[in-house]
């Protein structure tokens, strides 16, 4: 994979060209301070500080609006059973009223990004009150475990910051995306993020918002709602996904993964501009209506069901109707305007037959081939008939694509994070039980 091929797949590069054929999106340039925060460093570092200081704890930015991310369910939907349960749970975990208290707000290292917060909240309002966040390439699909509803639907800046900060996919964008290209050369004079200049006004050194899109985009199709958030996250090969437990996929569908060990790397400020893309959230989209299309030597050679982890009974019959619509969309919209010879793109086919563009990804590299293999795709010739693959029956789902959680949550071995957590929880429970027995 070459750098120019990767850069063409950035949403801020292709979105202006394909605005009429994709989801309404607002693009916001991100300041270096926020990028340092996402990489786990001091947003505004002290240049005289010890470079060997301990890593920062996981902190949310201080917010001017006072809106906390993903309010607990019982805060607005109380029920009698939960109220009774709280009498017992408070004994061990404290009062339920603490759920609305933000301990990060008073932490000395809790950063503030007032201009960025205002731009994000304004963009979300413009998009109808809810948005799907992503960086240049990746959405934080591996961080859905942090949200209240198991999606990456965000309604305010603090929710966006929480998901981005929790995501290995986002870390991959910052640390590994460009260096993974075979011809990548880091610009001279690049500064390590934890030693970069600290300036309280640095956040305002770059503009905070670009124009948003028009009103056209994917619309709910009137069928059963599934709250699916489409595309939007960088990927890896299946072999690499096994190493990192497919961190960057959504709940069911394979999505974008990161290279193992990327969290131990540091973001380097080499002047490259990262963007936050906020995409309008549509709760009625259905995963069986999304497809991945493979283009080799500027010819559409293969199409795969996007959600390769599930069997949809209607899809085998519907695919014959969908195929000519995707081919026409490629010939009329994609092929004349996208410069790369080899790439993939994701589309969503609406119930009325209209095709909407979701995302572009580079050929090979860290893009998942889904129901194909890259060996098969590399052998495709331009004069061959287009091959369209869907899961044809229950039990034919491709295995090995565990997704939507970080690797640490899947590792239960001796010495793992789960092992240490459970031991500490057991010790704390025993201590509290012994204390109760002593008081009785």
Determine the distance from the C-alpha atom of residue 89 to the mean position of all C-alpha atoms in its chain, rounded to a whole number.
33
184 and 266 part of one domain: yes
Spatial distance between the Cα atoms of 311 and 56, rounded to a whole number of angstroms: 43
Strands 343-349 and 387-389 come out as unpaired
221 and 298 part of one domain: no
275 and 293 part of one domain: no
**CATH code of the domain in which 311 resides:** 3.30.470.20
193 and 311 part of one domain: no
75 and 136 part of one domain: yes
131 and 276 part of one domain: yes
- The verdict on residue 396 lying in a domain is no
357: closest CA among 217, 214, 229? 217
Instruction: Give the pLDDT score at 71.
Output: 63
Which of 256, 280, 304 is the endpoint of a domain? Answer: 280
Q: Show pLDDT as tens, one digit a residue, over the chain (440 residues).
A: 899 999 999 999 999 999 999 999 999 999 999 999 998 888 888 777 665 566 677 888 888 877 777 765 444 444 444 444 544 444 444 444 444 445 555 666 778 999 999 999 999 999 999 999 999 999 999 999 888 888 999 999 999 999 999 999 899 899 999 999 989 887 765 554 443 343 433 444 333 344 433 333 333 333 333 344 444 444 433 343 334 333 444 333 333 333 333 334 578 888 999 999 999 999 989 999 999 999 999 999 999 999 988 999 999 999 999 999 999 999 999 999 999 999 999 999 999 999 999 999 999 888 899 999 999 999 987 678 999 999 998 766 655 444 555 555 566 667 776 777 788 888 888 888 888 877 76
Two tokens, residue 143: 């961080």
- The verdict on residue 421 lying in a domain is no
DSSP codes, 122-189: HHHHHTTS-EEEE-SS---GGGGGGSSSSS--BSSHHHHHHHHHH-HHHHHHHHTTTTTSTT--PPTT
C-beta pairs of 69-74 under 8 Å, 24+ apart in sequence? 69/156, 69/158, 69/159, 69/161, 69/162, 70/146, 70/147, 70/148, 70/149, 70/159, 70/162, 71/99, 71/100, 71/148, 72/96, 72/99, 72/100, 72/148, 73/148, 74/99
**Residue-range definition of the domain harbouring residue 315:** 287-389
Which positions ≥6 away from 245 have C-beta within 8 Å?
A: 402, 405, 406, 407, 410, 411
Which of 366, 389, 412 is the endpoint of a domain? Answer: 389
Two tokens, residue 122: 């304004």
Determine if the pTM surpasses 0.85: no
Which of 280, 303, 323 is the endpoint of a domain? Answer: 280
222 and 199 part of one domain: yes
63 and 212 part of one domain: yes
Spatial distance between the Cα atoms of 437 and 326, rounded to a whole number of angstroms: 69
- The verdict on residue 431 lying in a domain is no
CB burial of 397-406 (b: ≥16 within 10 Å; e: otherwise) equals: eeeebbbbbb
Query: Per the structure, how many domains does the chain have?
Result: 2
149 and 198 part of one domain: yes
Q: Cβ atoms within 10 A of the Cβ of 42, count?
A: 18
């Amino acid at each position: 994979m070459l750098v120019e091929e990767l850069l063409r797949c950035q949403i801020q590069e292709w979105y202006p060209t394909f605005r009429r054929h994709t989801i309404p999106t607002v693009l916001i340039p991100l300041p270096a301070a926020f990028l340092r925060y996402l990489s786990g460093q001091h947003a505004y570092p002290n240049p005289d500080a010890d470079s060997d200081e301990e890593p920062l704890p996981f902190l949310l930015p201080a917010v001017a609006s006072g809106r906390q991310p993903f309010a607990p369910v019982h805060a607005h939907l109380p029920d009698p059973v939960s109220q009774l349960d709280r009498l017992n749970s408070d004994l061990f975990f404290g009062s339920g009223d603490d759920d609305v208290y933000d301990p990060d707000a008073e932490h000395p290292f809790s950063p503030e990004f007032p201009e960025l917060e205002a731009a994000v909240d304004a963009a979300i309002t413009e998009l109808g009150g809810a948005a799907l966040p992503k960086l240049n390439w990746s959405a934080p699909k591996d961080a859905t475990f942090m949200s209240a509803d198991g999606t990456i639907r965000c309604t305010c800046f603090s929710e966006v910051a929480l998901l981005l900060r929790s995501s290995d996919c986002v870390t991959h964008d910052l640390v590994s995306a460009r260096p993974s290209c075979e011809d990548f050369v880091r610009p001279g004079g690049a500064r390590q993020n934890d030693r970069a200049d600290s300036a309280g006004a640095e956040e305002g050194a770059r503009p905070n918002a670009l124009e948003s899109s028009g009103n056209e985009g994917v619309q709910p199709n009137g069928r059963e709602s599934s709250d699916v958030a489409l595309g939007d996250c960088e990927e890896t090969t299946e072999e690499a996904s096994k190493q990192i437990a497919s961190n960057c996929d959504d709940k069911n569908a394979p999505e974008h993964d990161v290279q193992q060990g990327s969290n131990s790397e540091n973001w380097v400020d080499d002047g490259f501009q990262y963007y936050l893309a906020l995409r309008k959230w549509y709760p009625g989209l259905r995963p069986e209506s999304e497809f991945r299309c493979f283009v080799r030597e500027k010819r559409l050679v293969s199409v795969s069901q996007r959600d390769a982890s599930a069997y949809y009974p209607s899809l085998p019959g519907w695919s014959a109707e969908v195929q000519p619509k995707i081919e026409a969309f490629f010939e009329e919209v994609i092929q004349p305007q996208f410069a790369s010879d080899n790439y993939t793109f994701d589309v969503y086919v609406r119930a009325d037959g209209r095709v909407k563009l979701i995302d572009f990804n580079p050929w090979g590299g860290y893009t998942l081939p889904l129901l194909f293999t890259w060996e098969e795709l590399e052998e495709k010739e331009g004069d061959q008939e287009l091959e369209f693959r869907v899961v044809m029956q229950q039990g034919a789902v491709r295995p090995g694509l565990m997704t939507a959680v970080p690797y640490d949550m899947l590792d239960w071995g001796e010495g793992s994070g789960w092992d240490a957590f459970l031991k500490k929880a057991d010790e704390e429970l025993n201590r509290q039980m012994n204390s109760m027995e002593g008081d009785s």
